[in-house]
Structure 1
Amino acid sequence: MAVSGSREVDIEAPPADVLAVIADLEGLPAWSSIHKKVSVRERDDAGRPLVAEMTVAVMGITDEQVLEFAWTDTSVSWKVVESTQQKSQTARYDLTETDRGTHLTFEITLDPKIPVPGFIVKRGTKTVLETATDGLRQQVVG
């Protein structure tokens, strides 16, 4: 059963600075406790990741995954192309410039391969959403 979640946060930094932190995938384990290992396989002409391998652990479930990324000046999205624990995953950051910096919206939908108890799914989704927004904000603004 697929699970979806979204969260919004304001970051006192310009969108380009926020996207730069998101694009530094190798730096994810330093500020995202769920990311254990990250390596970029392929980059676009601007140096942004197009394909990356990650080891992610949430609520005691470890997943080895390969993600494909798509970038614009105000967003980044990705999808899982290989995963040991998920049938599918899509996620997206949308950034809107504001007077004080950036309004960020994060959305994710994932479909585990095996049945996972509802309370674990809810707690895991909350962890992912908080890391992807609050953790990112803390990394951007220091």
Structure 2
Amino acid sequence: MSDMSSSTISIDAPLDQVAATLFAIADYPQWSGAFKKVDVLESDGQGRATKATLSVDAGAVKDVVTLNFEWAEAPSKVTFSLEDANILTKMDGAYLLKSLDSDTTSVTYELSVGLSMPIPAMMITKQEKSTIESALKQLKEHIEG
């Protein structure tokens, strides 16, 4: 198991626009190359996914995962945790949003994964960092155009 990896990026868009993109879990395949398909299984009263199955293709890690999403701190934070998967034993993380000014938002992505096969922690951390960097770059490109 590895510790939480994280990275932060600044996006030239207001917090509500960034939050709207991140909170639309079903739309992740439109902007994130790591997610091939998303099926929302359960939603809260505001229409936000609380449970979803996602087909993940993040380089060396290919799996179908069921994640639970927690919205208690939205719009500044959304967290997710693994409920079920084929290969992954852990996939916990969060997106933290902070308004830097009216037109700029800081997004921090935290991620920690565990695998059912013996992989050195250093390799897992490298994959986490790669996944985070790619996701933040794709989010920024999608929102900024």
Per the TM superposition, whether the score is higher than 0.5 is yes
The letter of the residue matching 1:132 is A
TM-score, L = length of structure 1: 0.89
After superposition, where does 1:56-67 map in structure 2 within 5 Å? 56-67=56-67
Structure 1 residue runs of 5 or longer lacking an equivalent are none
Aligned equivalents of 1:83, 1:125: Cα separation in 2: 17
Q: Let me know the Cα RMSD of the aligned residues.
A: 1.7
Offset from partner CA, 1:75-133 (integer Å, 9 cap, x none): 11100010111111210111111124111111111111112356753552233112321
Residue aligned with 2:134, SS: helix
Counting matched residue pairs gives: 142
Identity, in percent, stands at 27
Residue aligned with 1:115, SS: coil
1:46 is aligned to 46
Aligned equivalents of 2:13, 2:122: Cα separation in 1: 35
Structure 2 residue runs of 5 or longer lacking an equivalent are none
1:24 is aligned to 24
After superposition, the Cα gap between the structure-2 partners of 1:9 and 1:125, relative to the gap in structure 1 and judged at 3 Å, is same
TM-score, L = length of structure 2: 0.88
> In the alignment, is the contact (CA less than 8 A) between 1:21 and 1:139 conserved in 2?
no
After superposition, where does 1:62-73 map in structure 2 within 5 Å? 62-71=62-71, 72-73=74-75
Residue aligned with 1:46, SS: coil
The letter of the residue matching 2:143 is V
